[in-house]
Structures are given as structure tokens and as C-alpha cells.
Amino acid sequence: MRGRLVLLPIALFALAAAYHVQAGEAPADARADVEAVVARGQSGAYQFVVTLRSPDESCDRYANWWEVVREDSSLAYRRILRHSHPNEQPFTRPGGPVPVKRDEIVVIRGHLHPAGYGGVAFRGSVAGGFARWEDEPVDFAAGLDVKKPLPSGCLH
């Protein structure tokens, strides 16, 4: 019986670790995390300024885009990042115009080549501001990683 009691905490730890990866929390060295979002401008044509932190090394592993996704999982805007930022972490890049309304709830998330999604995303609106999305569903906006526009390569 004592051997089973020792295995139970180990099994629970393994289950919890698996849950975090499944819930969108990829290991820090395999994700692009949003750290800040600011939006300016007018309804239907906002300029978003997004700060990302990612484990960029080279064109083999780098944050290759950030995007604005509507609650219905449709892509509102994607800002392609054309090169790796290994010596500039975190880094901030603007993008737009983003065709969303002032009070429309959207999600801003990063994408890491080749790992994909899984980092910290922000959720909110221009009117109410943006904050870390703590309970992002695992399958939110699945399939957007093949929707255009997509990067055509990486500049060295």
C-alpha cells in the first residue's frame, strides 16, 4: 500500500503537467507570449501595438506573427514578422489597420515557428483594454495557422 501512496503524487503531477500543455501553456522555450497590447485610432481601422517575448534563435525558431482574432474564431488581422529577434526581447511591433469595433472583444496571440500557438494571449476590447486571457480554450480558433496571409520566409 505504501508504494501506491508514493506513486499517486507522481501520477497527479504528471497529469497536471499534461493538462497545462494541453490548455495552451506550452513550455516557455516553445511559445510566443504576448506581454502588452495598445490600440489607437478609430473604429474599423485601429493601429495595434503588440509586445511579444519569444525564444528566437534564428530563422529556425522565431515568432513569425501576431494576430487579432474575433470571438467567433475568425481572423481580423495578422502582422507578419519577417525575421528573428534573438537580441531584442521582448520586442514591440505595430500593425494595422485592424478592422474591429471599439467595443468588440478580440484575442491577440503570437505564433512561434515551427512550434505554433500555445503562448500567453491577451483578450479584451479597445474600449475596455486588454489583459492576459487566463482561461483560453485549448481549441480556440484552431486552424487559423493555415489561413492567409502567411509568412513567405524569414530574412536572415
pLDDT of residue 80: 96
CATH number for 27-135: choose from 1.10.3470, 3.30.420, 3.30.70, 2.60.40: 2.60.40
Cell, residue 131: 489583459
pLDDT of residue 147: 95
Q: For residue range 88-128, list pLDDT tens digits in order.
A: 789 999 999 999 999 999 999 999 999 999 899 999 999 99
pLDDT of residue 120: 96
Going from N- to C-terminal start, the domains of the chain cover 27-135
Query: Any bridge partners for residue 50, and if so which?
Result: 37, 93
pLDDT confidence tier of residue 134, bands split at 50, 70 and 90: very high
Q: With a threshold of 0.85, does the pTM exceed it?
A: no
The per-residue pLDDT of the chain, averaged, comes to: 85
Task: Give the whole-angstrom CA distance, residue 2 versus residue 66.
Answer: 50
Task: Give the whole-angstrom CA distance, residue 34 versus residue 139.
Answer: 18
pLDDT at 19 over 90: no
Closest CA to 63 of 119, 132, 121, 110: 110
Task: Give the whole-angstrom CA distance, residue 124 versus residue 134.
Answer: 12
pLDDT at 20 over 50: no
pLDDT of residue 86: 78
Letter string b/e over residues 36-66, b meaning 16 or more CB atoms within 10 A of that residue's CB = ebebeeeeeebebbbbbbbbbeeeebbbbbb
